[in-house]
Amino acid sequence: MSSKEVIDRGEDMEESWEWLDRGLDIHQHSIIPLGNAQSGYINRGISFSTLKHGDIFVKFNEKNHARDMFKGERTSLETLHRTGTVKVPLPIQVVCHDSGGAALVMRHLRMRPLSVEGETKLGQQLAQ
């Protein structure tokens, strides 16, 4: 793990997003929350606008295993992207927090609801 991957500042992951600023090596205050936070059973996420990377989606988890989990997800997304079969968000970086948690930073992908036909097509594409 490189020294740039680990953010050692002691703040809570959601208390301040400065750790993410440092992990992405972008200028302080150039990361602006877009306000569409999401929460799931395992991870939470929020979208940001940045000068360096454009709109990004940050998926984060405060558990100790988060780094390994997100590195695996990054590899999977890169593999799916290379196939050209389905559109997936492009991963940018896995950023680790000194709490043991981590975040997967990826390009923001605008989502829209799928029709029944769209769901069928997606299932077929994934099966390929």
Between 68 and 37, residue with greater pLDDT? 68
CA distance 63 to 102: 8
pLDDT of residue 107: 94
pLDDT of residue 28: 58
Angle, CA 14 vertex, CA 75 and CA 108 arms, to 5° = 45
Between 85 and 58, residue with greater pLDDT? 58
pLDDT of residue 13: 53
Lowest mean pLDDT of 6-10, 11-15, 105-109, name the range.
6-10
pLDDT of residue 1: 37
Q: Average pLDDT, whole number, for the chain?
A: 80
CA distance 63 to 128: 33
Between 28 and 103, residue with greater pLDDT? 103
CA distance 52 to 27: 9
Between 17 and 7, residue with greater pLDDT? 17
Query: Which residue bears the tokens 């306000």?
Result: 35
Q: SS3 of 49, please? A: strand
Return the percentage of the chain with pLDDT > 70, whole number: 83
Between 92 and 24, residue with greater pLDDT? 92
Q: Which residues contact 30 (CB under 8 A, 6 or more apart)?
A: 21, 50, 51, 52
